[in-house]
Structure 1
Amino acid sequence: MGLFGNYDTPGRGVLKTPHEKRPFFKFWEVYFRHMWQLMGLNFIYFLFIVPIFVMLVMITETGNMKWLLLMLISGIMGPASAAMTRVVRNYSQERPTFMLHDFRKAFKLNLKQGLIMGYIDTIAIVSFIVGVPLYSTMAQKNSIMYVPYVLCLSCMLVFFMMHFYIYPMMCSTNLTMKQILRNALFLVPIGLKKTLYTLVSSLIIILFSYLLLVLPSTMPAGLTLAMFFPFTFVTFIACFNCYPVIRKHVIQPYYDKLGEQNPEDATDNEEEALFEDKAAEEEAVPVQKKQRKKTIK
């Protein structure tokens, strides 16, 4: 019996591919390995979305129409989201990455599509913030208005789940914005199990962060948490769960259609080749007579 396990079991020796850990344990292992980098990345991203926070406060608290001016610069959160997602995706898939360099590079490459998506997100956020309470109030007076109220909530939920695929596809493919949105809509039900896991986890994190920000006694802690934790953590959950769905149903079919090998698979094969185990092909070592041991100096 060895110190950390039993190595006396007969067999072919070390397995070529060691047993994979359960996704839950692998998730936390990979996350904690890159936790400090993800916290730094969260702070960088937080600086880009400050206008959104200010705009939401103006809409919900003051009613000041100056938030319309903030909408003009709020689109910048799109390229920032794409850049953050690119870095987080690399961490979640355990690819080598340099945080600041890759963030700047992804920001530039996805600037156009990111701005478009940023403005779409801004319009959608404002619409849902205004529409959901409005339909709720109208439904209390007229029951028939529960129909648009439920439709509005359903659209908001689906649109939120589409983001588990939109930004990972944006930073991983050369698809057009129309193709990205269409694929994201289809991937939500295709990867339903992983989508729902991601949705529940994300809503818990968002609700917890929101409560800390709303309550006066916990607002300083909530603001500190928002600066270093929730955005990259939710994105990490989405990339860890949903990027394999994108790879299977979007990226791999593209290379299959061209008859080419997926570069990600090629990288895996090269790594495996370096450590290829040929124990089964080795011949038994003939027994030799005992000789005097040599001393290595």
Structure 2
Amino acid sequence: MAGFFGFFDYTKPGPGVPENQPPKSKFVVFFEVTARKFWKLCWLNILYFLVSLPILILLYLVIGNYIFPIIQSATKEAGNIKDIQSLQGFLMFAFSLTLLSGFMVFGIGPTTAGFTYIVRNFAREEHAWVTSDFFEHTKKNLKEGIISFITDLLVLWIFSVAIRFYSIQSLKYPSVGIIKYFLIFTLFVYFMMHIYIYPMMVTYNLKVRHIYKNAFIFTILKLPHTIGMFLLLATVWLIPFILLFVTRFIPMLLLYLLVWVSLIGLAQNFYTNYIFGIYLNPQKKSEEQFESQENTELSSSKDDDSDSKESV
């Protein structure tokens, strides 16, 4: 007889999960996953930062050309020369690290694809090896990631030049200001599209133009939800920066390097998994209720054991 008079019998099955227990809300599941995967999220954040360092250094040099003149003009009357230089260095460090972390969330090419694959799996409550899967899916999405990153740089450069041009022209011709505001709104929509771009890149077997097309469709189709999610992610992204100026505690910015980008990516993929489940994988729900209705599938099946992308 196993155990001792029926006690301490570890071969017996446990009580399991009650059949009628309601599913947990995504909000609760997010914090449960965060707690379980916290140290893996930290390592993923650090790994993502280290591997992306060459790209981040390039972006830092570009950002400096825009930020430093603004900081100089804003701090020119801060006090004596020593105080001004100290303040300028502090602001340059704070703004640069915050913006670079924003680029990591926004997308910086193939490394973002590898990063997104991990947080997507965590959001699905599926397994992922942080280091090996990161490099594997960075390599798998090398072409798409490079094209997306170059596209982003071109779009940002073109829009910055155009917005600056029409801002100057609007001083002489106020009616031209309409074009400026239209460009700003269009750029804002382009920013919001990135909520969907990289999760779609690592999940579905699509060409880059189709990824951008679908991301635009989702952005417009779910515009109120997308705006809300974008503002939520932007607010969370700025929290360490705000805490820095409230507490004057510089190590607050280390949150960006240690875990903050991973937390934002996890929240983003909780949202995109939900949206994709409704519009791109509706058969998953029907399969749970009607196992025989295979002819009603609208997109590809779930990832197979080899972690191949789904086709749409």
Give the TM-score of the pair, scaled to structure 1: 0.69
* Equivalent of 1:81 in 91, 107, 112: 112
For residues 88-108 of structure 1, what are the alpha-carbon distances to aligned partners after superposition, in whole Å with 9 as ceiling and x for unaligned? 100111101110111011001
- Structure exhibiting the larger radius of gyration computed from Cα positions: 1
Q: In the alignment, does 2:297 pair up with 1:263?
A: no
CA displacement at 1:143 relative to structure 2: 2.0
* Equivalent of 1:61 in 65, 68, 86: 68
| Aligned-partner Cα distance in 2 for 1:177–1:260 | 18
| Aligned-partner Cα distance in 2 for 1:261–1:133 | 44
Structure 1 residue runs without a partner (length 5+): 1-12, 64-73, 267-297
The equivalent of 2:13 in structure 1 is none
Please identify, of 174-183 and 252-261, the stretch whose mean Cα deviation from structure 2 is larger: 252-261
* Equivalent of 2:36 in 14, 33, 36: 33
* Equivalent of 2:217 in 172, 176, 186: 186
The equivalent of 1:91 in structure 2 is 122
Aligned residue runs from structure 1 range 1-297, under 5 A: 15-16=18-19, 18-47=21-50, 48=52, 49-50=55-56, 51-61=58-68, 77-132=108-163, 135-211=166-242, 218=248, 220-252=250-282, 262-263=301-302
Please identify, of 110-119 and 140-149, the stretch whose mean Cα deviation from structure 2 is larger: 140-149
Give the TM-score of the pair, scaled to structure 2: 0.66
Structure 2 residue runs without a partner (length 5+): 1-15, 71-103, 285-293, 306-312
| Aligned-partner Cα distance in 2 for 1:110–1:185 | 20
Contact 2:118 2:133 in 1 (8 A): yes
CA displacement at 1:30 relative to structure 2: 1.7
Change (3 A) 1:146 1:82: same
| Aligned-partner Cα distance in 2 for 1:193–1:17 | 33
Q: Secondary structure at the match of 2:24?
A: coil
Contact 1:85 1:168 in 2 (8 A): yes
Change (3 A) 1:41 1:149: same
Q: Which amino acid in structure 1 is aligned with residue 270 of structure 2?
A: F
CA displacement at 1:149 relative to structure 2: 1.9
CA displacement at 1:53 relative to structure 2: 2.8
The equivalent of 1:10 in structure 2 is none
CA displacement at 1:62 relative to structure 2: 5.7
| Aligned-partner Cα distance in 2 for 1:168–1:259 | 19
Change (3 A) 1:134 1:259: closer
Contact 2:281 2:299 in 1 (8 A): no
CA displacement at 1:139 relative to structure 2: 3.5
RMSD: 3.4
Contact 1:162 1:188 in 2 (8 A): yes
Please identify, of 113-122 and 19-28, the stretch whose mean Cα deviation from structure 2 is larger: 19-28
| Aligned-partner Cα distance in 2 for 1:212–1:203 | 15
Contact 1:195 1:242 in 2 (8 A): no
| Aligned-partner Cα distance in 2 for 1:217–1:129 | 33
CA displacement at 1:125 relative to structure 2: 3.2
Please identify, of 38-47 and 168-177, the stretch whose mean Cα deviation from structure 2 is larger: 38-47
Change (3 A) 1:113 1:257: farther
Question: How many equivalent residue pairs?
Answer: 242
Q: Secondary structure at the match of 1:263?
A: coil
CA displacement at 1:28 relative to structure 2: 1.7
Contact 2:42 2:259 in 1 (8 A): yes
Q: Which amino acid in structure 2 is aligned with residue 102 of structure 1?
A: D
| Aligned-partner Cα distance in 1 for 2:173–2:143 | 43
| Aligned-partner Cα distance in 1 for 2:259–2:231 | 17
